[in-house]
Structures are given as structure tokens and as C-alpha cells.
Amino acid sequence: MPSEIRLHVHELLLSADASRAADGRVSLSLESADPRLFESASSSSPLSLSSEGRVSVEWGRRIELFPGGRALDALSSALASHAREDSDIYLSVRAESGAPIGEAFVNLEEILAQGKDMTRESVKLLGRDDKVVGRLTAVSYTHLTLPTTPYV
């Protein structure tokens, strides 16, 4: 079985202002600094927010890390980089119109350094000027297993 990274969002909660800006429907997407990490587009279907700006969702992405594969090469490059943000995975929230609502991130280098899966975490969702506009509740980064081949 190949090594893999799993990133899942279980719940989204937006501030009242962000919820109004979203006009009741949003979509989630995952992006990284290196497009090789995701072989194809990674966006959710449109999600309907409750009147409180909340939506429960089981959405995420599994990235398989095969020796010699593009995703493992991208992860290896990110971890070897001196710029820590090269190993960030961005979780973006957009209104159905496509307007950006906010963005959160997880750092794969940090997860590896801790040596354990991080589950049931809450990650701040930042909007313009890094203002907190909500949170991705219970974002989990699970099944991060190291490949048997060296990264560098």
C-alpha cells in the first residue's frame, strides 16, 4: 500500500459578515504551492450554510505517495525547501459566485515534525487583511505515513 496524506474537513463555521458575503452557499478547495501534489482539481460541490453560517460536511482529499510519483516528488521538494510555507496546504472557502471568503492552511512539515496525526483540530479561516472570518472545525490530517524511500 502506498503512503498517503488525508486531509478532511468536517465542519465550517463562518462569521455573520462572511456568511452574508457568501450568500448562503460556499465551496471548499485544497491547493498547494506545488501543483504536482494534487493530480486533479480538488473542490467540493456547493454547500448550503445554515442561518448561523455553519455547515457540516465530510469532504477532503487523499494524496497517494508512490515512489517516483509526482505527489511524492512535490512533497520531497517542499520538505527540502528552506521556505517553510512551501509545505503548506491551503483550504479555501469561496462563495458560489467564486468570490473568496477566506483561507486556512496546514503545514505538512509541522505535522511530520510532531510525528503524529492531528485530528479534530480547529483551524482559523482568514479573510482580507488576515481578519478571522470563521473556522474550519474539526479539520483532520490523518493517515500521514512516511514513505519507505528517503525524501531527499
Single pTM value for the model: 0.83
pLDDT recorded at residue 64: 82
* Mean pLDDT in residue range 61-80: 85
Euclidean distance between CA atoms 39 and 141, whole angstroms: 19
Average pLDDT over residues 31-53: 86
Query: CA 140, CA 152: separation in Å to the nearest integer?
Result: 27
pLDDT tens for each residue of 1-37: 567 888 888 899 999 999 999 999 999 998 888 888 8
Cβ–Cβ contacts within 10 Å for residue 64, how many? 13
Nearest of 38, 24, 34 to residue 101 by alpha carbon: 24
> Residue 138's pLDDT band (boundaries 50, 70, 90)?
low
What's the pLDDT at 152? 47
CA distance 99 to 109: 30
State the pLDDT at residue 126.
97
Rounded to an integer, the average pLDDT of 59-77 is 85
Strands (E), the chain: 3-14, 25-32, 47-48, 54-65, 88-95, 100-107, 118-126, 132-142
Q: pLDDT per residue over 74-129, tens digit each?
A: 888 888 889 988 988 899 999 999 999 999 998 888 877 776 666 778 889 999 99
If residue 109 lies in a helix (H) or strand (E), which one and from where to where? helix 108-114
Cβ proximity of 16 and 37 under 8 Å: no
